[in-house]
Amino acid sequence: MSNSKKTTMKWFRRGESREAVVDEVQSGKTSGADGRTAPGSDASGSGASGSGASGSAFRSRAVRGLGPGAASSRPPSARSVAASLAGLIGLSVAAWGSAASAQADEAARSAMASVSTTASASLTSASGASSQQVTASKYASPSKQASSSRQTGKLKAAQKRDLKATIQELVDAGYPGALAAKTDKDGNAVGATAGKGNLATGEAPPLDGEVRIASNTKTFVAVLIMKMVEEGKVKLDEPIETYLPGIVKGQGVDGKKITVRQLLQHTSGLPEFGDGQLDYFAIRNDYVSPRDVLDGVLSRPAQFAPGAKFQYNNANYVVLGLLAERVAKRPIAEQIETKIVKPLGLKHTYMPGPGEKTIRGKHPHGYHTRDGKPGKLEDITEADPSWEGAAGSMVSTPSELNKFMQSVFDGSLLSQASIAEMKKSIPAPEMGGEYGLGLIAHKSSCGVVWGHSGNNPGYHSLSAVGPDGTAATIVTTAEPAVNAKEAETMTAGKDARSVSALDKTLCGK
């Protein structure tokens, strides 16, 4: 990030304090599949912020100006890029997310009765009569069935209209395009789009199109690490030196004193190049390896002693990506595909391969400005996201991101013990909330929700699961920082329109 003034955004409702959120979270009023806190969890959450893959759920730092040299026609070297990009993977404005902790189990028992030979005829007759009654009841009221179907159709149509109206407000406020999806606890989803998916042609955004999800990637990585914990391959409170010997070291940086939990929770104290100057357009075709990114980070001194405080830092997840690959001896993209994407049946969610610049499926174009401030928007859809890596390079769709977020909490991916660990959170004052392990908790107008959000050049995404298990994702095709009206709103300390849109979609208020 550059040295320009940071703009933060609160996720609390106006007039509420962080303490109010903490009180509700710690009292157990957290969201889950059934609206309850996972057994043994601390049930509090937090936010992070930044640009690119970094960021926060409750407040988010807008992408800052890139400096006078940003528009230079000469692309920086891979090494200089690596030294600048750690702080530019930010997740921006808003991240939410909450999902169901555990759903009620249902059990059905059948009783066996013995019958005498003399009574068998009677029972057969009774069974036949009962069968006829069932058949009659199944087909006797087609009008009632048709009426119920019409009512369901009308409800879904109304939800689509409301969703479209909500994101149309974002377009009216200056975003090129917007996409959204809302999924109830039973998996029924509706989607909508607004604005233009291509400013050159005027084409509308594709419904449920693929987008770069930036820091929402962190939740995928956190789930992957928790799976390794369940398998006994990784321990949360083990030093990173155990898994990456001799790699995490530098000025005030000692891998023997930094734990896996601290990396997941952004309390490691690792340095981050948040003040670097990076021209996204100049480096859009450049590939940078995770080790080059980390080497750039470790060329600077540590920010603070491990565990001393919370400081959102994309470098933490760059290290976690290396940890996952070292332990499993397979690329992290493949691991996410095998352990998360395929089991959930996701078809449009993936981490791009080395050098992959084009979004694979139908997608809206993403736009950014040369200096990261409000101004002329330029197409930056096609770009190499390697600088974001495990901190924010993934691609998904609104509906698939909803499904993933719900699955984080409903037991589809992790045990209740792991879910409880992910919900153990610490205060993140700069974000106005609390942060767990790759998750953020936020006090919405309908209760505490859990999730994450992401922001990188071209796309801004917010995803959350509410107290009743409903999930929602809002995406805009430009960052808030390059939207004049949104930037003005954030500077004034008010909630961004995108945050309000997610709250309205989740809570219906």
Query: Residue 465's pLDDT is what?
Result: 95
Residue 218 token pair: 């962190």
CA-closest candidate to residue 155, choices 193, 195, 194, 182: 182
Range 20-33 average pLDDT: 42
Q: Which residues pair with 428 in a beta bridge?
A: 433
Range 396-425 average pLDDT: 97
- The H-or-E segment that residue 282 falls in is none
Q: Is the pLDDT of residue 276 over 90?
A: no
Q: Write the DSSP symbol of residue 139.
A: H
Query: Residue 58's pLDDT is what?
Result: 38
Range 251-265 average pLDDT: 98
Q: Is the pLDDT of residue 132 over 50?
A: no
Q: Is the pLDDT of residue 342 over 60?
A: yes
Residue 296 token pair: 């750039």
User: Residue 15 — left, alpha, or beta (φ > 0 → left; ψ -120 to 50 → alpha)?
Assistant: left
CA-closest candidate to residue 503, choices 189, 219, 182, 179: 182
* 3-state SS string for 425-453: CEEEHHHCEEECCCCEEEEECCEEEEEEE
Kindly indicate the confidence band of residue 105, based on its pLDDT and cuts at 50, 70 and 90: very low
Q: Which residues pair with 55 in a beta bridge?
A: 49, 91
Q: Which amino acid is at 62?
A: A
CA-closest candidate to residue 328, choices 256, 390, 261, 274: 390
Residue 334 CA, distance from chain mean position: 19
Range 151-166 average pLDDT: 90
Q: Which of 66-75, 101-110, 137-146, 344-353 has the highest mean pLDDT?
A: 344-353
Range 260-267 average pLDDT: 98
Q: Is the pLDDT of residue 47 over 70?
A: no
Q: At what angle do helices 416-423 and 398-409 cross, to 10 degrees?
A: 110
Range 388-394 average pLDDT: 96
Measured from the Cβ of residue 334, the count of other Cβ atoms closer than 10 Å reads 13
Kindly indicate the confidence band of residue 87, based on its pLDDT and cuts at 50, 70 and 90: very low
Residue 43 CA, distance from chain mean position: 18
Range 236-242 average pLDDT: 98
Range 154-176 average pLDDT: 95
* Three-class secondary structure of residue 253 per DSSP: strand
Percent of the chain residues topping a pLDDT of 70: 69
* Three-class secondary structure of residue 115 per DSSP: coil
Query: Residue 230's pLDDT is what?
Result: 98
pTM of the model as a whole = 0.78
Rounded to whole angstroms, how far apart are CA atoms 272 and 23? 32
User: Is there a contact between 11 and 48 (Cβ–Cβ < 8 Å)?
Assistant: no
Rounded to whole angstroms, how far apart are CA atoms 192 and 214? 21
Q: Is the pLDDT of residue 275 over 60?
A: no
* C-alpha angle 329-330-336 in degrees, rounded to nearest 5: 135
Query: Residue 101's pLDDT is what?
Result: 35
Query: Residue 457's pLDDT is what?
Result: 95
Query: Residue 220's pLDDT is what?
Result: 98
* Three-class secondary structure of residue 412 per DSSP: coil
CA-closest candidate to residue 476, choices 188, 172, 218, 220: 172
Query: Residue 335's pLDDT is what?
Result: 98
